[in-house]
Structure 1
Amino acid sequence: MKPSEYYIKARLFPTILTSIPLLIFVFSIIAPQYTDALNEVSNILPILTSLGISAALIFLIVLINRLLAKEIFQRYYFKEDTHLPTTSYLLWEHPFYENVVKREIREKINVRYGVVLMNEEDEKANESISRKHIAAAVARIRNELRGNKMVLQHNIEYGFMRNLLGGCIIAIIFSITIIAFGYLKENYNLRIVGWVCLGVYALPIIFSKALMNRHGHYYCKMLYDQFLSL
């Protein structure tokens, strides 16, 4: 089955970009230490490769990156779907959309899906329930706009950034390992490479909140713009 555009751009590409410290660790540290053992393994690698082991490992790393991204960054900043911009922007108290726009979106949700979202008074009394209702409605909007190219592009960009952050965690772990090994073996080149990798992959983590919020904002705005144009 051919991988989707979303899988390739939002999941596979971040994995490739954040796998550099892992590859350095394997080929510069592990391989030289265990050359004889790896030579024996190399004899059976063609068999393993033909069985799809390489694709399976890539798939595993993609899953790990996505899991870290969702469980650490998305959960920390957005607390699941109920605090994503697509949910928060429809709350009456949120300042991004004017109330007239919120009413238009809410009325269209009612017409198309038969879902009535809470009014201002009820929402103030129970915001958590209101968020759940909005999140459920947004899921239906996303499903209806699944084939929309503009929404897909912004979804890919958000997914790419989120999964890149997840991959950066693994990259930082291997970067620190490379640095430690460089000091242990008094290998100046490894130390430099490790510090460079650490700096490169730490930057997205440092600015993770801004990156997540900004790309979440862009996706949310595009989703509702396209929904209103239906």
Structure 2
Amino acid sequence: MKTNGYYIKARLFPTILTSIPILSLYYFGFSEKLIEFMTFLEGYKWASDITLSIAIIYFLAQINRFISKELFQNLFFKEELNMPTTNLLLNSDTTMAKSIKSQIVQKIAADFNILLLDSNSENHNGEEARKTISSAVAQVRNATRDNSMLLQHNIEYGFVRNLIGGSVLAAITSVFNIFLFQYTFSNPFAFKLNLVLLGIYILPILLSKFLISRYSKYYAKILFEQYLKK
């Protein structure tokens, strides 16, 4: 399995940080019963030298990404149409200076032959204006794909977003563990550990709107700054 900086920092690291409740469930609850079975499975290599442990981590990374993108990002932004990368180029948005926005709009027209709607057209058809901007932003991203500064901000946004998605699964697992270690496999330490973990993982969920909005705005500003420099 090929990896890169984005995958390791934005997907793998959040998965590791949010897998602690699952590891505690295995270690304190089922390790004796599963150790022989897991050892047997890990003795075999899968296609492309993917072991069972790597496959599980990859699977959890995909779940975290799905939850963070489909549940949180789409909930707050309705896919691309309401993300900061779209909002910043709306005529009605005053975040950027008009002169800077005008330079971006002109550069987009020159580079990609995409004409963004003017103020009157935007007022009459806001959705079409957003769709046009979204298409233009996709081209801007492709044009700045190799920019190291932009990649760093993209990693930061991806890390935060995927950490929030992973925290949902981690919180659910922690709740399950709390009841399990309280009533089924009585273990005071594991019970307290998962109680603390539940509090830790609930925090990014509660702050999800603030975190995703803040980091996505950082990314959007850097995207257009670096695009103008290109």
TM-score (normalizing by structure 2): 0.93
* 8 A contact 2:80–2:86 mirrored in 1: yes
1:195 equivalenced with 2:195 (yes/no): yes
Provide closer, same or farther for how the CA distance between residues 44 and 9 of structure 1 changes in structure 2, counting only shifts above 3 A.
closer
User: Using the alignment, how far apart are the partners of 2:35 and 2:144 within structure 1?
Assistant: 49
Q: Superposition pairs for residues 18-167 of structure 1, below 5 Å?
A: 18-32=18-32, 34=33, 38-48=35-45, 52-167=51-166
State the Cα distance separating 1:54 from its structure 2 match.
Answer: 2.2
Corresponding residue pairs, total: 227
User: Using the alignment, how far apart are the partners of 2:188 and 2:14 within structure 1?
Assistant: 29
State the Cα distance separating 1:38 from its structure 2 match.
Answer: 3.8
User: Using the alignment, how far apart are the partners of 1:40 and 1:220 within structure 2?
Assistant: 48
CA deviation string 1:59-111 (max 9, x = no partner): 11111110011011100111111111000111111121122222111111001
CA deviation string 1:121-175 (max 9, x = no partner): 0001111111010010000000010000000000010011111111001100111
- Structure 1 counterpart SS, 2:80: helix
- Structure 1 counterpart SS, 2:94: coil
* Runs of at least 5 residues in structure 2 that lack an aligned partner in the other structure: none
CA deviation string 1:22-77 (max 9, x = no partner): 10011111224x2xx64255244312576622222211111111001101110011
Percent of aligned positions with the same letter in both sequences? 40
More displaced stretch, 156-165 vs 99-108: 99-108
Provide closer, same or farther for how the CA distance between residues 105 and 51 of structure 1 changes in structure 2, counting only shifts above 3 A.
closer
* Runs of at least 5 residues in structure 1 that lack an aligned partner in the other structure: none
Provide closer, same or farther for how the CA distance between residues 30 and 48 of structure 1 changes in structure 2, counting only shifts above 3 A.
farther
Partner of 1:172: 171
TM-score (normalizing by structure 1): 0.93
Partner of 2:17: 17
Read off the aligned partner of 1:164 and give its amino acid letter: L
Read off the aligned partner of 1:42 and give its amino acid letter: T
